[in-house]
């Protein structure tokens, strides 16, 4: 009985070997016994790598390899202190240019010169006070962050008896003083903003009166627009320091941790598309001309398991090229064919990126004639 079972097992293995051999021959010839064009196909791999937009340090990491993420999800945050300072300077310069334009507007005003000059001066003072208060607050916040880090470091050193408690107390006093100064600066900013809004409104009302020579102010207006563009660019660069998923899929790699230094252009995060919608088939050279754009394609897994997937030929390769090694009937023997790019129909279970299928093609013209 054991011999009988062994014999049946041998027969099954032999049958399977014949199936695999027939499949390899079919793919090598490019046609099956029914005359349809068949070819190996590989599901396209869409893997997006996000590089560091500038040299800086890692502030926070919000994902791990293997996490499924939606498009736009925050993955990594990079430190933006340098760009924060650059933005503050650009915005201050924008206020200065606007103030210069207001001064120019007063020069070309043909009436109410005295009133206009006073309103312009009020607006300039209010803008200057606001910019100074904002700059002071920015400096205080940066100093507070630095002192906070020093306090934490010295607390550990005191516990380890590597620093004196007196030095720690002094750092805490300095940190407390800076926080109080920051609170005062915020209150000053609120008051300066109200004064600036009022001064700007009054000045705008005066400017709206007839007699303003817009043509004479065109160069000044261009200067404002140029500085606004600079501010916009710096803001955009700062936004790029928050690395977001460019597509919905699975995090494949995160090569940094909090506090790491990164160089501009260095790859930091990679995300795989887990729902690929296309595949590339490689049709044997002899059958390459029989497949056309618009033909229907049927994809079956090599082992015959899983769902059968349908699609349509989207584009064709420019010519006959050497096939990838993993798709050759005999890996050591060069084989040639044409790339056929297939768009998979929506719905159903998504195939794995890089998975190999057997693709068969049906000409749309042949289908139409059959009808």
Domain that holds residue 67: 47-78+242-271
pLDDT of residue 294: 94
For the purposes of burial, counting CB atoms within 10 Å of the CB of 280, is it exposed (0-12), middle (13-18) or buried (19 or more)?
Answer: buried
Query: Do 360 and 291 touch, CB atoms closer than 8 A?
Result: no
The reply to whether 8 falls in a domain is no
Same domain, 215 and 265: no
Same domain, 61 and 34: no
Same domain, 66 and 25: no
The reply to whether 9 falls in a domain is no
Distance CA 83, CA 86 (A): 5
Query: Do 340 and 280 touch, CB atoms closer than 8 A?
Result: yes
The reply to whether 25 falls in a domain is yes
For the purposes of burial, counting CB atoms within 10 Å of the CB of 131, is it exposed (0-12), middle (13-18) or buried (19 or more)?
Answer: buried
The reply to whether 194 falls in a domain is yes
pLDDT of residue 158: 74
Same domain, 71 and 191: no
Per-residue pLDDT at 98 exceeds 70: yes
Q: How confident is the model at residue 325 (pLDDT cuts 50, 70, 90)?
A: confident
DSSP 8-class letter at 346: S
The reply to whether 310 falls in a domain is yes
Phi, psi values for residue 103, rounded to 5°: -65, -40
DSSP 8-class letter at 352: P
The reply to whether 97 falls in a domain is yes
pLDDT per residue as tens digits for the range 281-307: 999 988 888 999 999 999 998 777 778
- For the chain, the domain total comes to 3
pLDDT above 90: percentage of residues in the chain:
41
**Interhelix angle for 81-108 vs 113-159, to 10°?**
170
User: Stretch 72-96: mean pLDDT, rounded?
Assistant: 93
The reply to whether 3 falls in a domain is no
Same domain, 209 and 105: yes
Last residue of a domain, one of 217, 251, 271: 271
Q: Domain with 91 in it: what CATH number? A: 1.10.287
pLDDT per residue as tens digits for the range 201-239: 877 776 676 555 666 677 888 889 999 999 999 999 999
Distance CA 200, CA 202 (A): 6
- Lowest mean pLDDT: which of 48-52, 75-79, 80-84, 154-158? 154-158
249-254 and 68-69 as β-strands: parallel, antiparallel, unpaired? antiparallel
Task: For the chain, give the mean pLDDT.
Answer: 81
């Amino acid at each position: 009985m054991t011999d009988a079972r062994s014999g049946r097992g041998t027969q099954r293995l032999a049958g399977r070997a014949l199936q695999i051999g027939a499949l390899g021959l079919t793919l090598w010839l490019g046609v099956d016994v029914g005359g349809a064009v068949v070819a190996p196909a590989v599901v396209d791999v869409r893997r997006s790598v996000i590089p560091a937009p500038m040299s800086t340090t890692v502030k926070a990491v919000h994902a791990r390899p293997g996490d499924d993420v939606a498009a736009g999800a925050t993955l990594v945050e990079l430190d933006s202190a340098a760009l924060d300072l650059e933005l503050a300077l650009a915005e201050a310069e924008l206020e200065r240019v606007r103030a210069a334009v207001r001064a120019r507007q007063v020069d070309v005003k043909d009436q109410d010169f005295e009133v206009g000059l006073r309103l312009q001066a009020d607006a300039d003072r209010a803008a200057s006070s606001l910019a100074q208060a904002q700059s002071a607050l920015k400096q205080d916040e940066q100093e507070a962050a630095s002192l906070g880090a020093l306090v934490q470091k010295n607390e550990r050193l005191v516990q380890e008896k590597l620093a004196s408690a007196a030095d720690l107390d002094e750092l805490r006093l300095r940190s407390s003083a800076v926080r109080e100064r920051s609170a005062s600066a915020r209150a000053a900013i609120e008051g300066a903003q109200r004064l600036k809004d009022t001064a700007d409104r009054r000045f705008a009302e005066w400017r709206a009166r007839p007699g303003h020579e817009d043509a004479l102010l065109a160069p000044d207006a261009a200067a404002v627009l140029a500085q606004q563009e600079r501010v916009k660019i710096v803001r955009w660069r700062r936004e790029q320091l928050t690395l977001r998923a460019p597509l919905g899929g699975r995090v494949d790699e995160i090569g940094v941790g909090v506090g790491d230094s990164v160089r501009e252009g260095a790859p930091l995060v990679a995300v795989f598309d887990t729902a690929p919608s296309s595949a590339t088939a490689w049709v044997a050279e002899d059958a390459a001309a029989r497949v056309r754009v618009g033909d229907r394609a049927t994809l079956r897994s090599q082992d015959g398991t899983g769902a059968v997937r349908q699609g349509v030929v989207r584009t064709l390769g420019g010519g006959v090229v050497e096939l990838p090694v993993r798709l050759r009937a005999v890996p050591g023997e060069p084989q040639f064919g044409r790339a056929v790019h297939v768009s998979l129909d929506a719905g159903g279970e998504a195939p794995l990126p890089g998975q190999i299928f057997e693709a068969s093609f049906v000409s749309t013209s042949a289908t139409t004639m059959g009808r």
